[in-house]
Structure 1
Amino acid sequence: MIIILTILYWSLAEPTGHGRDNLFGRADRERPRQPLAEPTGHDRDNLSGRTDRKRVEFSMVSQHYVYLTRSRTHFSEHKTELSFNSVHPLYFHYFILSSMATEKVVVKELLPLIRVYSDGSVDRLLSSPNVPPSLEDPETGVSSKDIVIADNPFLSARIFLPKSHKNSTHKLPIFVYFHGGAFCVESAFSFYVHRYLNILASEANIIAISIDFRLLPHHPLPAAYQDGWTALQWIASHAANSASATNPEPWLVNHADFTKLYVGGDTNGANIAHNLLIRAGTETLHGDLQILGGLLCCPFFWGSKPIGSEPVEEHHQSLAIKVWSFVYPDAAGGIDNPSINPCVPGAPSLATLGCSKLLVTITGKDEFRDRDILYYESVKKSGWKGEVELFDAGDEAHAFQMFKPETDLAKAMIKRLASFLV
């Protein structure tokens, strides 16, 4: 059966559906809706003023986008099919949304990621489409569902449970995952994140929780950091006293081993995880729950002074600096704020990391590679009492295991991650 995810853009429509930004601050985000509800698409804002109805469909089977434009006056339809196999997958979204641009004033943009218009609407140019959870993924047998963690501010997540829970009373480790996307694109419910966590939950035999933290432009940092802490406190409330937990989750109550709590993510998601570990080193979770490990895949770290192979002349015009200025304009110290540069003089000591073991992964083509190696070496020299490891996944770009999980290098990396999450 072909599963189609449809992203509908309606003129003058009220922004609805899970993850849709509220144009006045997203503070009253609704509870999760099925991504097939109308209109859909992660953080697709109301595109007011459009004269045509436009639709983008994505087939999870054929992995093709189908772009349709339907005129309200002529009732004609134009159809274009694009294959994932020709270019990088997320650039499909960039191509489609750019081609759908209307005569609105751009007030801010960070290409190729996001464009903000004068009417408050937003185009998230590099986001894979949302997909619904599944009672049983046909490839892995993993079950998933969407859950609400908090109502004010609204915070939701997708939780994944491996099929092994059906045949065993053995409790499972918990992995709290934060997706990549430069703090402004992708979601906990997007196609790539969903597929990746199905695979990882099955391979590692873990409960994975993908956090749908708040995004730019309406929610600059430290909103995402606070959402991460809220999620950890919510999980900890189950361990302390599940009866008193807000929105208690049966999968955690019945199947989770709270002595094996991990946090991690890719790129900016790994940055969130690091900052949570720093906070956990000085603040306690409910019931004094301890975080066992941190899994930082190509973490987004940077600084004002180039190191290693980072370009010298173009350093201050790097995309990393542009992203940080966009997502945390009020950060003290700018790009040398300890949240993005944990090795800067005066940053909190890495010896205070609030976990017992840490795995940092790097790739050969990742622009953060030298920063991540420096971070690994700095943790080793800090006097931290835990065990830190560095894993080089090969000559690939960051997050390749998510985009190309079928490749040998991706399979090897996922196995390495799974061996850590025990």
Structure 2
Amino acid sequence: MVSSKKEVSSEFLPFLRVYKDGSVERFLDSPYVPPALEDPATGVSSKDITISPGISARIYLPKLPTTTQKLPILAYFHGGAFCIESAFSFLSQRYINTLASQAKVLVVSVEYRLAPENPIPTAYEDSWAALQWIASHSSNDQNYKKEPWLLNHADFNRVFVGGDSSGANIAHNLSLRAGRESLQGGMSIHGVLLSHPYFLSSKPISLEPSSDDDVDKNLLYKAWEFAYPNAPGGFDNPLINPFSNEAPSLSSLQCSRLLVCVAEKDELRERGVRYFNAIKKSGWKGKVELFEVEGEDHCFQIFDIERGNAKIMFKRLASFLSAPLN
């Protein structure tokens, strides 16, 4: 419980409050849960590892018929507007357990540092460092401490990056960066999974705010301003607006398969559909697919994994992650 006597410095309600002593009180985080040797509901095992100072991850390994089986690997980035939630939370653990079990995929769920204590671009740099750490397992590079689960079970011909909301934004930007910079061992990204991706721009589309006053009140826009104060270009910074003049060409995405998931009632739906259409027109040489769920809102499948539409979405995600190489 934070003392009521502490002086408030700033607020981003209903998500968090910052105090003048530098402490941060978060209101909507789901509770921390420890990793499990074997989850009773899914049979998935998990453990926590440290990648480097400030960067950690929870690794998930589904139950295998043999000790030598190789699995696709998913580098996963959680959502939360860059400022809340965790790879070690109840919601993340339950969601990834379900996905790892159904897709039979090894998951590295990255714990990147959050704003406002660590403003953007920290989340992107931490996530890139984590992806490089994963890639180091595909080479003989001795500068990284190796993780046995990755060495023994990861199929580095089937590497995916993905996430939900702001985590999907991170996954998009990592796949662009991988097109400009080499990953350790020459590792390449096979597929990218973007669920309800968080993109914005200074020019509203569809039902988004249409005036400066409305933008000031809209949580999607306030989240970006809070996570990246004084961002160059504001809402047209290429990290948040993939169509800005400064953004790299979408044709440079470093993957061969891309799945974009949207939900009918999500305020970000039109952004996701526009992104999908732009990919198709960009000259990118891979295969892009759009998956839409009717009657649902933003990241619904994380909050209620048992609802019918969530089960449909899990099945679609699993088929994307487990599809054989062409």
TM range (shorter): over 0.9
Q: How much does 1:366 deviate? A: 1.0
Q: Secondary structure at the match of 1:421?
A: helix
Matched, 1:143 2:45: yes
Q: How much does 1:193 deviate? A: 0.2
Contact 1:301 1:368 in 2 (8 A): yes
Q: What CA distance in whole angstroms lies between the structure 2 residues aligned with 1:389 and 1:117?
A: 44
Q: Secondary structure at the match of 1:127?
A: coil
Aligned position for 1:399: 299
Q: What CA distance in whole angstroms lies between the structure 2 residues aligned with 1:194 and 1:421?
A: 18
Task: Name which one, 1 or 2, has greater alpha-carbon Rg.
Answer: 1
Matched, 1:215 2:84: no
Aligned position for 1:80: none
Q: Alpha-carbon deviations, 1:102-133, whole Å to 9, x = none?
A: 12211111111110011221111110000000
Query: Which amino acid counterpart does residue 406 of structure 1 have in structure 2?
Result: E
Query: Which amino acid counterpart does residue 17 of structure 2 have in structure 1?
Result: R
Q: How much does 1:365 deviate? A: 1.6
Q: RCO (CA 8 Å, sep 6+): is it higher in 1 or 2?
A: 2
Contact 2:260 2:272 in 1 (8 A): yes
Q: How much does 1:399 deviate? A: 1.3
Map residues 48-59 of structure 1 onto 2, 5 A cutoff. 50=3
Within the candidate set 122, 132, 136, 1:237 is matched to 136
Within the candidate set 91, 113, 132, 2:15 is matched to 113
Q: What CA distance in whole angstroms lies between the structure 1 residues aligned with 2:300 and 2:276?
A: 21
Aligned position for 1:224: 123
Q: What CA distance in whole angstroms lies between the structure 2 residues aligned with 1:123 and 1:245?
A: 37
**Once superposed, what is the RMSD of the aligned Cα atoms?**
1.3
Within the candidate set 247, 251, 258, 1:351 is matched to 251
TM-score, scaled relative to structure 1: 0.74
Aligned position for 1:250: 148
Map residues 374-413 of structure 1 onto 2, 5 A cutoff. 374-413=274-313
Q: How much does 1:245 deviate? A: 5.1
Aligned position for 1:181: 80
Aligned position for 1:130: 32
Contact 1:107 1:118 in 2 (8 A): yes
Aligned position for 1:299: 197
Q: What CA distance in whole angstroms lies between the structure 2 residues aligned with 1:103 and 1:190?
A: 29
Contact 2:237 2:246 in 1 (8 A): no
Query: Which amino acid counterpart does residue 388 of structure 1 have in structure 2?
Result: V
Q: Alpha-carbon deviations, 1:33-74, whole Å to 9, x = none?
A: xxxxxxxxxxxxxx4xx4xxxxxxxxxxxxxxxxxxxxxxxx
Q: What CA distance in whole angstroms lies between the structure 1 residues aligned with 2:158 and 2:230?
A: 35
Matched, 1:283 2:181: yes
Identity %: 57
Map residues 329-368 of structure 1 onto 2, 5 A cutoff. 329-368=229-268
Q: What CA distance in whole angstroms lies between the structure 2 residues aligned with 1:395 and 1:241?
A: 48
Aligned position for 1:35: none
Q: Which runs of 5+ in 1 are unaligned?
A: 1-8, 10-46, 51-101
Question: Structure 1: which 4+ aligned runs deviate by more than 4 Å?
Answer: none
Contact 1:238 1:245 in 2 (8 A): no
Q: Secondary structure at the match of 2:25?
A: strand
Q: How much does 1:170 deviate? A: 2.7
Contact 2:112 2:126 in 1 (8 A): yes
Q: Secondary structure at the match of 2:152?
A: helix
Return 395-404 or 251-260, whichever deviates more.
Answer: 395-404
Aligned residues: 320
Q: Alpha-carbon deviations, 1:234-259, whole Å to 9, x = none?
A: 011110126x2522100000111011
Contact 2:68 2:152 in 1 (8 A): no
Q: What CA distance in whole angstroms lies between the structure 2 residues aligned with 1:370 and 1:315?
A: 17
Q: What CA distance in whole angstroms lies between the structure 2 residues aligned with 1:120 and 1:331?
A: 21
Q: Secondary structure at the match of 1:163?
A: coil
Q: Which runs of 5+ in 2 are unaligned?
A: none
Q: What CA distance in whole angstroms lies between the structure 2 residues aligned with 1:107 and 1:330?
A: 17
Q: Alpha-carbon deviations, 1:343-371, whole Å to 9, x = none?
A: 12332100001111110000012111111
Aligned position for 1:312: 210
TM-score, scaled relative to structure 2: 0.95
Q: What CA distance in whole angstroms lies between the structure 1 residues aligned with 2:9 and 2:46?
A: 38
Aligned position for 1:53: none
